[in-house]
A and B are shown apart, each in its own frame.
Chain A
């Protein structure tokens, strides 16, 4: 297998991971054992193989607790192992090849280096993602995620799984086992159910091991710490088999399960934990300070996993069984989030017309202090939108949860991983250059025949040709997404994940084997606004004003506008999306609808419950921009592209009401999430709070689905670029996620700086 398929970065990684606790020698030995077990299990069923491999890493990769931990469970991962997502190793049986190769540096002897090489060799033929890539990638159209030379990228991963933790708490481990046994009695030969049962036994082994370790730690602990450790031991003893009775036990159980499942998003914790919280407070079992400390410890554990764009905890919204108790949890959680100022959990507030005003006010206070959380989701828009987009009834749609960089999934019921990514702008530059990508001179139009630019007699002829090229890529996209599920299903069952998803146990089938109730998916689109602004500039200057021939504009872009400054000036002077101007915003919306419907229809044809575009953003807009040629919105070659469906930084010149009016034009019922950013100075945001509230209320009442708010002082980000050492904790909203500013790459920082900051 070629190096380009297996090597290279594979996910957005901004947060710096904690190094594994075990020595390099121990790590190597574990990876060898994992590999051996995998090899020995090849003749066995995938369920059995998965279980055998999991037994190699659990509980062995649990690292020791930290002094501040109020719950047991810190888990390392190695360059070889098992997982769901690339932010913690990889998907299924994985090998992170570049990290494995980097490990060689830690060894001195040729023998040890040779052992690494042997592992590398084995996994090139067995790493799940490599197998997927081998089948799907092409030299010029479909690239590996993240290889930005291509207009389209695809990957295999199982992102955004949020499980039925309510079942976990209701039935407990023994209760779940009982449910599986019931199904097994009907289908005694069902390998999947049998393996699930044993997976829960492995869970209990892990609990026992952690319990024993915690008990040992008590021997040398201080008095106060001993009390905490003793609480952890008693919680572990109980949740080993029984449903949790207390707030502490419930957190402990959910946390451990999420670790073993490799899930990095936690979902609607308010509805699950709220009743425990309120009951313990009312009975006097814990004080509010205790509850605060527990949550802070959980937040710290989540932060320490360092998954960059994940760690979602969602509070509020429709479809909760215990809204009053859940709101109590929400209040506590906002408090803790404001205090911690961590990048994770990605703390999210869903609100409705009935959300208590004090919760809204607390949320705005937290934002006003620069925490970037909570991100705000408007259920009045999103629930009906999800019903349409995902073809669900209201009850199911009420369980929507955002994850990653802004895409939705139905908690406990759907798979919605974004395994495909399209660069709409690169495809436009290809359309304008007879199928050749002007960035590297390679043909990337597949079978689509594209004539010279000047042969488009009308704007519609050009637009139609562009759509034809899009159609070709939509087909690639739907195939690649669907195949990612088939590829994963061939190799693994995701036992722990499947167990807490509708309807795996009832059907006796693993998640991707027909178990999950709603098999969905999402396709991230990039350069949306650069594309529609470019089209609008072409329409204006070439076809309406006839100031230029199309080839003249394309020629100027080919020179990155050097020597063509006047052309660029006119391109920049054309109206831009984000200023509440009908003509240019309508074109943006028209393009959005074409892309959204094209993807959605193909997903349905493929047999998926839903397959939706997500106008998300992470830093891929910047990374992909680096390898996208100059565009006819006036953007220079290599420059970042616009974030999500926000304007290119600085193109919106008409204030926040105008930009919000533009943002809300994209109807939510056609997408699976769309990230909308806004940035204020503390002075603007905090001194005019009532007017800011009215601004947000108006936006949300009129179709705004979502908002991510950054509050940062003018000059602070600039200063942080110059003196990063002074800003270790400066959190900014990149778009779909928050990050510590100084950990971002320079041009990602530049992109953030380019966005309009509203000040007085």
Chain B
């Protein structure tokens, strides 16, 4: 009965990345789920934000041949001399354009996969997880968006005995966090800011919710949390603020903190989505620039690490 139910549970999966090295201990597979309530302008995976799959257009391989526009039953695609354009309001995600493209320039950001299909992929690397002390990491988007499918997935994974990590922004109802908690061995929990207004204004996040979720987990078992701080110029790249975040970790009994230097590797995805990117002229942060934060964290007795 249980198996049958699992078979019928589907998730919107962007990618299952195998041999992931920076998303928890050991060698891991990371299941990236579509959808996120936040709108961080630096987001490296903007296609993950909406709940439904996004049509991505790879500029370089497109020859503007028009096959896609001809195939689209909604006339959502227009082509000018130098550019492809899709009216996303009209797109019904039927996939006709993807199939018609001779250059493989179009694809959707995610596919619908059953839990069994996901289990089948991650199980291929069981031996590597065992040898390295690794496992499976659930990531997003914000994986909580796909509740309750997410819960069924982590239950199924835990049934198989996997060490489970979850990367989360913490932007989710507390009840869902409480339901998920027993199955997750390690949360890689983002803390982006300490100022509610700023977080709401810039990233559409609610600090009170995030804080409550973090406190709940830490009250149960702070060793199940690594705090992660994406360091973003102009947003939180401020020594006083970052010291406060490290202090928070200490006060909640968290022992490990990771600083993730801002990068622009997601830039081309904005182009593929015809979105504007607020950071196109911003330089990437170097490891060197984050050293003072790491030093402070270490001085506070935290295990600290730059990069994932």
Contact = CB atoms under 8 A, between A and B. Distances in A.
Contacts of A573: 104
B26 A694 contact: yes
A694 B132 contact: yes
B124 A698 contact: no
Contacts of A508: none
B195 interface: no
Contacts of A694: 26-27, 128, 131-132, 134
B274 interface: no
Contacts of A690: 132
Contact of B128 (A565, A654, A688, A695): A695
Interface in A54-107: none
Interface stretch (A36-44, A297-305, A656-664): A656-664
Interface in A649-670: 654-658, 661
B102 A657 contact: no
Contacts of B131: 694, 697-698, 701
B22 interface: yes
Contact of B18 (A566, A657, A688, A691): A657
B27 A691 contact: yes
A695 B130 CA distance: 11
Given A655-B19, A656-B19, A695-B19, A569 B102 contact: yes
Given A655-B19, A698-B128, A698-B132, A565 B27 contact: no
Contacts of A701: 127, 131
A580 interface: yes
Given A695-B132, A701-B127, A701-B131, A658 B18 contact: yes
A698 B21 contact: no
A702 interface: yes
A57 to B, nearest CB: 54
Nearest to A567: B102
Contacts, number: 54
B295 interface: no
A691 B127 contact: no
A295 B288 CA distance: 41
B171 to A, nearest CB: 27
Q: How large is the interface on A (under 10, 10 to 19, 20 to 34, 35 or more residues)?
A: 20 to 34
Nearest to B25: A691
A691 B21 contact: yes
A653 to B, nearest CB: 10
B17 interface: yes
Nearest to B100: A566
B125 interface: yes
Contacts of B130: 698
A760 interface: yes
A145 to B, nearest CB: 39
Contact of B124 (A565, A656, A657, A697): A657
Contacts of A697: 131
A691 B102 contact: no
Interface in B81-138: 102-104, 124-125, 127-128, 130-132, 134
A347 B103 CA distance: 44
Contact of A580 (B22, B27, B104, B124): B124
A657 B132 contact: no
Interface in A692-710: 694-695, 697-698, 701-702
B210 to A, nearest CB: 28
A694 B127 CA distance: 10
Contacts of B132: 690-691, 694-695, 698
A143 B190 CA distance: 64
Nearest to A566: B102
A740 B277 CA distance: 43
A702 B127 contact: yes
Interface in A406-461: none
B104 A760 contact: no
Contacts of A654: 18
Interface in B1-37: 17-19, 21-22, 26-27
Contact of A655 (B18, B26, B103): B18
Given A701-B127, A760-B22, A655 B104 contact: no
B124 A658 contact: yes
A573 B134 CA distance: 31
A580 to B, nearest CB: 5
Contacts of A695: 19, 27, 128, 132
A758 B18 CA distance: 12
Nearest to B19: A655
B30 to A, nearest CB: 11
Interface in A627-667: 654-658, 661
A758 B132 CA distance: 18
A697 B17 CA distance: 20
B29 to A, nearest CB: 8
Contacts of B19: 655-658, 695, 758
A206 B127 CA distance: 57
Interface in B142-161: none
A385 to B, nearest CB: 20
Nearest to A572: B104
B51 to A, nearest CB: 26
B182 to A, nearest CB: 28
Contact of A657 (B22, B27, B103, B104): B27
Most B CB within 10 A of own CB, among A565, A657, A688, A758: A657
A391 B190 CA distance: 60
A580 B120 CA distance: 11
A569 B128 CA distance: 33
Interface in A191-220: none
Nearest to B22: A760
Interface string A546-574: 00000000000000000001100100010
A691 B25 CA distance: 9
A65 to B, nearest CB: 50
Nearest to B308: A760
B258 to A, nearest CB: 15
A654 B17 CA distance: 8
B115 to A, nearest CB: 19
A655 B124 CA distance: 12
Contacts of A702: 127
Nearest to B104: A569
Nearest to A580: B124
A688 B307 CA distance: 12
Contacts of B17: 655
Contacts of B103: 565, 569
Nearest to B101: A569
A698 B129 CA distance: 9
A697 B27 CA distance: 12
Given A569-B104, A691-B26, A698 B18 contact: no
A656 B20 CA distance: 10
Given A569-B104, A691-B132, A657 B125 contact: yes
A124 B131 CA distance: 60
Contact of A698 (B22, B102, B104, B127): B127
A221 to B, nearest CB: 53
A671 to B, nearest CB: 23
A573 B101 CA distance: 13
B227 to A, nearest CB: 22
Contacts of A569: 102-104
Given A565-B102, A694-B27, 20 more contacts: A569-B103, A580-B124, A654-B18, A655-B17, A655-B18, A655-B19, A657-B18, A657-B125, A690-B132, A691-B27, A691-B132, A694-B26, A694-B128, A694-B131, A694-B132, A695-B19, A695-B27, A695-B128, A758-B19, A760-B21
Closest 4 CB pairs of A and B: A694-B132, A655-B19, A655-B18, A698-B131
20 contacts: A566-B102, A569-B103, A569-B104, A580-B124, A655-B17, A656-B19, A657-B19, A658-B19, A661-B124, A691-B132, A694-B26, A694-B27, A695-B27, A695-B132, A697-B131, A698-B128, A701-B127, A701-B131, A702-B127, A758-B19
